[in-house]
Amino acid sequence: MLITANDRLFVLTGAGISAESGLATFRGSGGLWNGYRVEEVATPEAWQHDPLLVWRFYSMRRRDALAAQPNAAHLALASYEQQLGDRFYLCTQNVDDLHERAGSVRVHHMHGTLFQSRCTRCDRVFPDQSFYESAAALPACSSCGAPVRPHIVWFGEIPLDMDAIDRQLNRATVLLVVGTSGSVYPAAGFVHIARQRGACTIYIGPEEPLNNGAFDQILLGAATEALPALLLHA
């Protein structure tokens, strides 16, 4: 038994958990960046250079996420959270809302969320499901009139609420990582921190991640199969 009902579980998810819901991963074949180079759409420089391209990209991702449904892996995590309560913490690199729609409550989106936008001047964050796909439609802040950007953490920016993440990593007895290539830091380093602090570290995905050496267990398989199987016996 890798996880017991007495454990304090920190779950880190990546694009792979939403792959079977039809949302493209970043680095696989058919990955999201195939049509767009990452530096064209997910950096502050890209935003300065071409905000319309950036908004078209995130509008496309909003459309895709709205059409997707949570899968068995999202549902298994939500159901396990009900058993563990406050001993469960879910940190996702994903900006889709499939964890919430599956019923997860204790979710932290370290790379931001697709369905919020933020004022570039007054930093007001607000819910937003709109699509902005022409220069005339680009949004402005209703409080101060400045341009509004996606509430997404871009390359070169600091992930949201790293203090809370660190506190939770400190307390976890098990770190369960699902569907992330282990190539983007700081998330790729969580396994090293958890391991140093004595937690058991488990990875689930169809292929080994880049940081594979730091895991105690690697369960090769699709998230919708391997994750429910693991949590069913926990």
Does residue 111 carry a catalytic annotation? yes
CB 98 within 8 A of CB 65: yes
202 binds ligand OAD (CB under 6 A): no
The catalytic position among 108, 111, 192, 233 is 111
φ and ψ at residue 226, rounded to 5 degrees: -70, -35
Q: Which of 4, 134, 143, 183 binds ligand OAD (CB under 6 A)?
A: 183
Using CB under 6 A as the binding rule, the residues of this chain from 82 to 141 that contact ligand OAD are 93, 111
Among 7, 10, 23, 26, binds ligand OAD (CB under 6 A): 26
Dist. CA 231–CA 234, nearest whole Å: 5
Is residue 12 involved in binding ligand OAD (CB under 6 A)? no
In the list 84, 138, 184, 219, the residue contacting ligand OAD (rule: CB under 6 A) is: 184
Parallel, antiparallel, or unpaired for β 112-119 and 200-205? Answer: unpaired
Q: How many residues form the binding site for ligand OAD (CB under 6 A)?
A: 26
Q: Does 153 bind ligand OAD (CB under 6 A)?
A: yes
User: CB–CB of 51/206 below 8 Å?
Assistant: no
Closer residue to ligand OAD (CB): 51 or 205: 205
Token code pair at residue 66: 């709205």
Q: How far is CA 202 from CA 13, 85, 205, in A?
A: 12, 20, 10
Integer Cα distance of 187 and 129 in angstroms: 27
What is the set of active-site residues?
Answer: 111
Point out which residues bind ligand OAD (CB under 6 A): 14-17, 19-20, 25-28, 31, 42, 93, 111, 153, 179-181, 183-184, 205-207, 209, 222-223
